[in-house]
Every structure is written in structure tokens, then in C-alpha cells.
Structure 1
Amino acid sequence: MEKLKRKLEPELKENVADFLKKEANVRLAYIFGSYGTKYQNTDSDLDLAVFFDDPPEILEQMELAARLELELGKYDIDLINLNNVKLDFKYEVVKGGELIYSRDEIETAEFKEEVLRLGPEAEEIKYKFQQEYITAIKEKTSGINHKRIAEKLRFIRANLKKLKELAELEQINFLSDYRNFDAAKYNLQAAVEAMLDIAAHIISREGYTSPNTSADSFRILADEGIITEDLLLKFVKMTKFRNRIVHLYDQIDEEYIYRIINNNLSDIESFVDLIANRYF
């Protein structure tokens, strides 16, 4: 989301912060939406996104918004509970909104760090599902595209072949050439991304619940009996590893990669076998 220039009345900011300060359950709050921007009009509500220690029931949430309206006197408050929204919405609020109240700077920094770190992943998931929807329309079918899954499986198998060749190297030889590390890292990342593409395709075409994160994709496949529960944790760890490569690439060391290609390739093979046996 583009960061909109937002000009808020100092009195409004002060009054909202003073009100929320008295609410022990409120951790932080953002003003977002059109209010205070060039898009504000006479129908614009004051959109307030609040993160709580203990998420309130909807009636409590409505009561809080009503009390704030009475306190401010001239605003229609639309209060959103940040605890109960999807990650992509949190990301939009943090990126595009203005922090108006923070109970604790460290708590707020940790919240923002997590949302900004994981938010792009949520955007990626949303994009994958949009692409699946568009492709389904073009193909005039909502069913599984077996050809596409077969292509992804072939791609994963090709990556596994390269990774196994690298795994055959003695550790000292693997570590002595940076190209081995780069090749292993790339092929691992590409294999996991292809697994996620397959998961997104299956979830979209079968009409399963949309995931919030990449790891959720594997949880949904497990819930639907497509992958086994004992492999679920391993695939979730793979997703976290893939995210580290993408976002924390400078924190991946060569020995860690070497251990993975020697100990964990069978997990990727298990995924390939499960998908192949189910759809072919």
C-alpha cells in the first residue's frame, strides 16, 4: 500500500491517545483509510485499527467505539480489531496508516517488525490466488490442471537431482567453493517455491479455505488429507527456511545449507510422491 500523506488535527490525535490510554486492554492503535488524506470527503469515517491484549467480543468492541465517539463529539468511528484480521490487512494498516497510540514502544516495535516482515508473504499469497483465479477463467475450468502440476513436479525432481549431486561432495569440498553454496541455496528455494505453487493451485481449484501465509498452505493440505500430519511440521519449517533465504539472506551460512541437503531432501521427495500418487 502506498503511504498516503495524512494530516490529522493535533487535538484529534491527542484526544484519541488520551482516551485509549485509559483502556488497559489496548496495546496500540492506527488511524488508516481516507481520513486526513486528499481522498477524505464528507462521508469519510474515522477508521481506527486497534490491537488488544485480549480481543474483545463484538459487542464490547462496538461499545468502545461508541464511547470514543461520545468523547470526541463529532466523528463517526469505524473501529477495526487488528487481532482478528488477516495479515495482509495488518500490513496495509501498518504501511499506510498513522500510529496514533502506543502503550509500550518495545511492544509496538515488535508488532510492526513482525507485520512488516511477514506482510510481503501475505501479499505474495494473495497474488498467487489471483493468478490461479485468472488462469481458471482463461481455461474455462475450475478443476485441477494436471499438466501444470506435472510440470511443477518435474521441476522439483530436477532440482532434487542437482541437490543430491551437491550433497555427495565432502563437506570440506562443498565449503571450499562459494558456487556450491549458491547453487544449493537457489535450488532449495526454487523447490520449496514450486511446492507452494502446487499447494496454491490445489487449494484454489479445490475451493479450500484460503491461507494467510505460505505455511498455512501446507496446514490446509494436511487438514484435507493431501499430505500427512507427520510431514506437516517439516514442510512448515521448509517454508520458514525459504523465507529466511528471501528476507534474511545474509543470515544463512554454508554449513547449515550443507546439513539440509544431506538430511532433508527425502522430505521434499515425500511431497512429490504424495502429490503424484493423488493426482496421477
Structure 2
Amino acid sequence: MLDRNLLEKKMNLLVGYIAELEVIIADSVVEILKDNNKYHATERIFQLIVDTMIDINIHLIKEGKLGAPDDFEGTFKLLGKVGVLDDKFAIKIAPIVGLRNRVVHQYDSLNMEEFIGSLKKDFFDFKEYLIQIENFLKRQK
């Protein structure tokens, strides 16, 4: 059974993180890159956003008995396949898990300019994720 209180708390956290990131990425890429505090805040907030999205995904999958995804990226794809998220959107947003891992674990060298540019370009995807999750929850009442 879906724990709506848990989901609401996670979604409220997500709203806050998205708002914080929006303030920072309103600055130019150059301004963010020349200020280490802004850049590192951007990385951390991005991590928090993705981690919270994964938490929401896992709860929906577990409580909905939707199966077991292969990995965290697969949580988005699975939610797309079952109609929680739009399938095309789920496929588009799923790779943020890999980007999150590159940022957090420094697996590969990360082009900081491309990272910030990508966040600016795809920022609305975070809001779209929330909209789609909210719409799903409304359909479940």
C-alpha cells in the first residue's frame, strides 16, 4: 500500500531542492564555474534531487508490486512501462542516475561546463517528474 505521507514528504523535499537549484542555475555557466561554492552546491543539490527521485521510484515499485528493476536507472524505465511516468519521458530522464554516479563517485572526469549546461537545458525535467508523479497519485485515489 502506498505510504502517501512518505511520498508527500519526499515530494516536498524535491520541491525544495528544485527551487534551490533553480536559483543557482539562473546564473551563467561561467558565473557558476568561477564560484566553487556555487558549483559544489549545484553538484550536491543535483545528487539530492536524483536520490529523492529514486526513493520515490523505489517506494512506488515496491508498494505497487511492479517487479524488480535491474538498477536505479531501471526504476525510471519500469515506472514508464507501467504508466506511472510517460514512457518516453522515463527513457529520457533515466540516464540522470549515471550522471549522478559520475558526479558523486567521480568515476570519470566530469566536464563541469557540460554538466552545468546539461542541468540548465534539462532543468524542467525535474519539475515534469513531479507533475507526472502527482498526476499518478491523483489517479490512485
- Of 59, 67, 74, 1:201 maps to 59
* AA matched with 1:218: F
SS at 2:55 equivalent? helix
SS at 1:251 equivalent? coil
1:249 Cα deviation after fit: 5.5
Q: Greater helix percent: which structure?
A: 2
Structure 1 gaps, min length 5: 1-142
Asked if the contact 2:72–2:97 (Cα under 8 Å) also holds between the matched residues in 1, the reply is: yes
Aligned equivalents of 1:276 and 1:189: distance in 2? Answer: 21
Residue 189 (1) aligns with residue 41 (2): no
Identity percentage of aligned residues: 20
Residue 167 (1) aligns with residue 22 (2): no
SS at 2:67 equivalent? coil
Between structure 1 and structure 2, the one with the greater Rg is 1
1:256 Cα deviation after fit: 2.0
Structure 1 counterpart of 2:75: 217
Asked if the contact 2:80–2:86 (Cα under 8 Å) also holds between the matched residues in 1, the reply is: yes
Asked if the contact 1:181–1:257 (Cα under 8 Å) also holds between the matched residues in 2, the reply is: no
Structure with larger RCO (C-alpha < 8 A, sep 6+):
2
Superposition pairs for residues 255-266 of structure 1, below 5 Å? 255-266=113-124
Aligned equivalents of 2:126 and 2:88: distance in 1? Answer: 13
1:182 Cα deviation after fit: 0.4
Aligned equivalents of 1:177 and 1:207: distance in 2? Answer: 45
- Of 2, 9, 24, 1:151 maps to 9
Q: Greater strand percent: which structure?
A: 1
Question: What per-residue deviation string (whole Å, max 9, x for no partner) do you get for residues 114-161 of structure 1?
Answer: xxxxxxxxxxxxxxxxxxxxxxxxxxxxx0001111111111111111
Residue 227 (1) aligns with residue 97 (2): no
RMSD of aligned C-alpha atoms?
1.4
Q: Which consecutive aligned stretches of 4+ in structure 1 deviate over 4 angstroms post-superposition?
A: none
Question: What per-residue deviation string (whole Å, max 9, x for no partner) do you get for residues 63-117 of structure 1?
Answer: xxxxxxxxxxxxxxxxxxxxxxxxxxxxxxxxxxxxxxxxxxxxxxxxxxxxxxx
Structure 2 gaps, min length 5: none
State how many pairs are aligned: 138
What's the TM-score, normalizing by structure 1?
A: 0.47
What's the TM-score, normalizing by structure 2?
A: 0.90
Asked if the contact 1:245–1:252 (Cα under 8 Å) also holds between the matched residues in 2, the reply is: yes
- Of 124, 134, 139, 1:276 maps to 134
